[in-house]
Amino acid sequence: MRKIRSLLLVMGILIIGSISHGEEGMSSLARIANVGGYFDTEWVIDNGSNTFKAHRFILHASSQLHDRLFFNSEVEFEYGALVNAGEDNGEIKIEQAWLDYELGGDFYFRGGIMVMPFGHVNVYHDSDLRDTTNRPIYAKYIVPSTWVDTGFGFHGLWEPNDVWVLSYEAYVLNGLVEKKSDGSTAISSSKGIRDTRPNFKADNNENMAYVGHLDISPCLGLNIGTSFYSGVYDDLNTQNLSMLGFDLFWKKGPGEILAEWASISLDQTSTEPAAMNGYYIEGRYHFFPQFLKNTFLADGLDNPVFTIFARAGAVDMDTSTTGTNDRKQYTFGFNYRPIETVVFKAEYEINDTETISDNDNVFIASIAVGF
């Protein structure tokens, strides 16, 4: 608890400092500094438990230092984050701390701790943005969300005409790692590459990794993207890991479709699979029944919305074998948003896992608030 108070005090001092040392002419407090975040609380019922989970509390702090200089940060507290209590699973971690420097013409330098621009859900992972409580199974084992790393690179936007929009990001970074903090292997056919996410103290080898994303919007409501990653991940500086992904978001009227697919290729070792892949596709429909307009669900609210959704996904964590540790997941549910940043969710998740006896189906209800 002392660490949490100290961290909040430091963030407050930094924010006040940025206000008092802002450039002349920046009289607007909102332009100089901003604090926000989100939180979620979940109710989970599965085969072996019935419990509430105080999952995440996130603080964002950002500052427009100059018309061309912008700083952004994100600190996450998981499960109460009582990290010194000894009996809890809490965690405090920095998920973002980066500086943008506009070089001109919608072209920016970015450096620091960054969310990796691989696919859609890893970038737009905030609980109040997602319609579902749980992220897709793909985002747990194949693209290990929330995946962050430290490095630098460039991003920008190009509009060749009045309709088409192209956005891009490309960064150099330390990269994924071979071993967990306890020294055990981080890659397996049961957990994919989830445990390869790095710390920010030092690279485990002498080679940098590379990640990038290109998004194309040929018309309003349609985004098509592709992502890549490549880097040496082992301590001996000999084994390479490469990833290729595609994502699609389509919106027409009240309906939306979101889909992602990604594959992983690794240099073969005796204990690690050589290739993995995974995908998901999610459909959503937004509405609000007319007969509820005069109830508490709409009273005084500008645009309350219900959403029904369904998602199917699967991962294959060793493509050289059939059925071994393959996992499928199906999710169905609905949510209610009184305003855009507050959402009440309920969903049922069906898990189908080959050769592993953890096929627990789960009911999940949650509250997520962005502020």
In a domain? residue 191: yes
Do 98 and 240 have their domain in common?
Answer: no
| Domain limit, last residue, from 65, 86, 102 | 102
Instruction: Provide the pLDDT for residue 247.
Output: 98
Provide the domain count of the chain. 2
| Domain limit, last residue, from 102, 118, 138 | 102
Query: Hey, which residues does 239 pair with through a beta bridge?
Result: none
In a domain? residue 270: yes
In a domain? residue 40: no
Do 70 and 113 have their domain in common?
Answer: no
Query: pLDDT per residue over 218-273, tens digit each?
Result: 999 999 999 999 999 999 889 999 999 999 999 999 999 999 999 999 997 767 88
Do 20 and 166 have their domain in common?
Answer: no
DSSP state of 135: P
In a domain? residue 291: yes
Instruction: Provide the pLDDT for residue 201.
Output: 87
| Domain limit, last residue, from 70, 85, 102 | 102
Do 276 and 243 have their domain in common?
Answer: yes
In a domain? residue 41: no
How far is C-alpha 212 from the chain's CA centre? 15
Domain that holds residue 184: 105-370
- pTM of the model as a whole: 0.86
Write the DSSP assignment of 38-53 as a string of letters. EEEEEEEE-SS-EEEE
Query: pLDDT per residue over 37-64, tens digit each?
Result: 999 999 999 988 899 999 999 999 999 9
The position carrying tokens 């600190």 is: 75
Do 71 and 3 have their domain in common?
Answer: yes
Measured over the CA atoms of residue 128, residue 131, residue 133 and residue 139, the dihedral's sign is negative
Distance between CA atoms of 193 and 182, rounded to whole angstroms?
A: 16
CB 11 within 8 A of CB 327: no
Q: What is the CATH number of the domain that holds 109?
A: 2.40.160.10
Sites in the chain below the pLDDT cut of 50: 1-6, 8-10, 13-30
